Structures are given as structure tokens and as C-alpha cells.
Amino acid sequence: MAGSSFGTLFRMTTWGESHGKGIGVVVDGCPAGLSLCEEDIQVYLDRRKPGQSKFTTARNEGDTVEILSGVFEGKTTGTPISLLVRNQDQRSRDYSEIASYYRPGHADYTFDAKYGFRDYRGGGRSSGRETTGRVAAGAIAAKALQTLGITVTAYTKEIGGICVSEEKFDLALCGQNRLYMPDAEAARKAEELLTQKMSEMDSVGGIVECIATGVLAGIGETVFEKLDANLAKAILSIGAVKGFEIGDGFAAAKSFGSENNDAFCMRDGAVAKKSNHAGGILGGMSDGDTIVLRAAFKPTASIAKQQDTVNRDGEEIEISIKGRHDPIIVPRAVVVVETMTAAALFDMILMGMGSRMDKIKEFYGGKR
């Protein structure tokens, strides 16, 4: 089926393989009149592109985005925005080995099971490179949200069990370390762990946290299209994610009602909450508080250590994956979580505009 689109009213459709001609996305449903240029998108792409540190693959990709449509005289027109990133690194390596077997932790086997064969060059469509399109699309959503006073920010919460401490938490620190950790000490420890695991030809997992501020209460639908349900889908659609939490998440399962319930109070003349165990969502709708979510990423599947597997001929073999691979996915995934959150959130804001007859009347009745 058609599984490469996300969103109902603000909808992105991504395409492209790791070693094909390029990677891209079509953003359909972006409202007209948003100021947009390539640089707005490029800053997000630069956060996920390879070669930024010793912990990311050295693949040489400029990842330069080109806007092909939907923008006129510096503003979105309301028509589809087509974004293209040409792949530079298409050199024809010898892929015969990788084509012949199934890498553990990768989608090689499931692709073959589903489609009968696969584009095995660099992981094809299941490569992390697929996220380029999402990030580009989500960057537009993020910009639209900013005009509404909403900010979405993601960062590394934990790497290999080393967690950012609440006391030392400082978002300003994220930009100062290539792990995007808002805690200098945790970042230092995590770098040590990564250096060690690289030398062991192994890889590490971690957790990304994302917060959204400025979201008014009442965004999200009440049953299946809950805001958190759509955020969960957005996050789990990112490769290597194995878990999702909103607010206290799994900790809430060990909690008691008297602890977990957030008391309502009045603040600056408006309804507010004294705590935020809920993570900003009640009954599937935003409650006006900061939205807090987390994504658990498994360790990079590609490791140099020897592994058991099978080949396409059904023989059990031992392999050792060659080439340079990120020992951790998390730092480059931070911007992916952030932009997918932005995309899901903006889509739900648009979807919620028709919730009340009085608002529709006001909207429709005004001068258009």
C-alpha cells in the first residue's frame, strides 16, 4: 500500500533510497502565506547530516535542499512544496556481499519477505537516509508552529544508560556538544562510553526527549485521533525506535493516582496544572501545559563485531559488517524526533479548526 505519507491536512510524502539519485519529499496542505526559503529547511538538515563528529559516519553528503515548487516570491502558495536533495555518494561499490545475506537488526530479510527482492545498496529505502525527507518536511511545520507561538525542541536524554540529570539540565548546552545533551557532564561520560564501544566494534542505544511549549488546550481528537496517539505513530515510524512515552510514561504504571494526577489551579487568570505528570495531554487533547514525549532508540544495528546470520540461499554464516557506521543513532535522530513531532502537532492543529460551530461561523462569516 501507500505507506510513505504522514498527516491528513498537513501531509508529507517522502521518497528515495540511500544510494539512488536522491531523497525528497512533497509537502501538501501547507497553508499559504508562510515565509519560506531553502535556508529555513537547510538548518534542520544540517543537524542530521553525516560527518559532524567522530561518532557519525564519514559519508560525504552536502544534503543541499532545493525547493522545486509551492513557494512564490518567498511565500508558500498553498500548493504542494516539492523538496529535493540529490545524493552525491552514489559510487558503485561492490554490494554483492551485502546483497547475499540478511544483516541482524536490519530490514533486509523483511524487505525480501514482503517484496521478493530489495534495493540492497546502503539499505535502500530502510536506510537512516530516508529521514532526510521527513526532517525537511517537519522543518516547514516547525516554522509554521513558530508563527503560532509554539516551539518544539528535542535533545538527547540518555545514552547507553547515562542520563541527563535534572539538576544540571540546560538546553543551551545542547549546541555545545555533538551528542545534543543538555548536561555537559553526562555528555562527557557518554562520549567516553561511545569511544570505548567503538573500539569494541559495538554500538549503543539511547533516549531522545522532546518538548513542545505554547500549545493551547484542546488540540487533538478524542478517540482514535488522540494527539498522543498520533505522536506515538509519528515517533514509532522512525527507524530504530522501540518505545514511546508521553509525560511520565512507564513510570506512571508504577505510580499511584494521588501522585500521578496533576491538580488543576489558576495561574495568571487561566486554568493551569500544579505538576505535569500527564506530559501536557489529557484524554488525547493538549491541556495547555508543556508536551513532553520520549523515544527509545535501539543501538545501531550495523556493527563490526562478528555476528551469526543466514544468506539468501538459506545457509547459516558468520559476518562482520564492513565500513564506517555511527556507533549510536541518537544524536542525529534528535532532529528527526523534533521535526516529526512538529509535523504531527501542526497537522492536528489544522484538523481541530472545525471543532466548534461558533468558531466556524466566525471564520466563515468574516471577510475572506
How far is it, in rounded angstroms, from Cα 241 to Cα 124? Answer: 19
Q: Which of 148, 165, 320, 323 binds a second copy (CB under 8 A)?
A: 148
Q: Which is nearer to a second copy, 176 or 342 (CB)?
A: 342
Could you say whether residue 14 binds a second copy (CB under 8 A)?
Answer: yes
Nearest residue to 56 via CA among 65, 64, 66, 46? 46
- Minimum Å gap between C-beta 207 and a second copy is 5
Residue placing its CB nearer to a second copy in the complex, 88 or 255: 255
Query: Looking at beta carbons only, is 172 or 266 nearer to a second copy?
Result: 266
Query: Which region among 2-10, 41-49, 167-175, 179-187 touches a second copy (by CB under 8 A)?
Result: 2-10
Residues contacting 312, CB < 8 A, separation 6+: 100, 101, 102, 112
How far is Cα 214 from Cα 49, in angstroms, rounded to an integer?
Answer: 29
200/317 Cα distance (integer angstroms): 21
CA distance 142 to 99: 38
Does residue 354 bind a second copy (CB under 8 A)?
yes
Binding residues for a second copy restricted to 319-338, rule: CB under 8 A: none
Q: Which of residues 252-311 bind a second copy (CB under 8 A)?
A: 252-266, 269, 271, 274, 277-279, 282-288, 296-303, 305, 307-310
Q: Which helix (H) or strand (E) holds 252?
A: none
Chain centre distance of CA 120: 24
Q: Measured from the CB atom, is 54 or 176 closer to a second copy? A: 54
Is there a contact between 284 and 223 (Cβ–Cβ < 8 Å)? yes
Select the residue interacting with a second copy from 245, 291, 337, 338 (CB under 8 A).
Answer: 245
Q: Which is nearer to a second copy, 35 or 176 (CB)?
A: 35
Contacts (CB under 8 A) with a second copy, residues 218-237: 218-226, 228-237
Q: Give the other-Cβ count within 10 Å of 219's Cβ.
A: 25
Q: Does 189 bind a second copy (CB under 8 A)?
A: no
| Residue 168 interacts with a second copy (CB under 8 A): yes or no | no
Q: How far is the CB of 283 from a second copy (least distance, A)?
A: 2
Binding part of the chain for a second copy, among 51-59, 167-175, 177-185, 349-357 by CB under 8 A, reads 349-357
Q: Does 140 bind a second copy (CB under 8 A)?
A: no
> By rule CB under 8 A, what count of residues binds a second copy?
169
Q: How far is the CB of 209 from a second copy (least distance, A)?
A: 12
Residue 366 to residue 351: CA distance in whole angstroms: 20
Task: Give Rg (Cα) of the chain.
Answer: 22
Q: Does 95 bind a second copy (CB under 8 A)?
A: no
By CB under 8 A, residue 242 contacts a second copy: yes
Contact between 114 and a second copy per CB under 8 A = yes
Cell 513510570 belongs to 251
Contact 17, 124 (CB under 8 A): yes
Q: Please give the C-alpha separations between residue 352 and each of 7, 94, 262, 293, 314, in angstroms, as whole numbers.
A: 13, 51, 25, 21, 51
217 contributes a contact to a second copy by CB under 8 A: yes
Map the footprint of a second copy across residues 50-79, applying CB under 8 A. 66-70, 72, 75-79
180's grid cell: 545534543
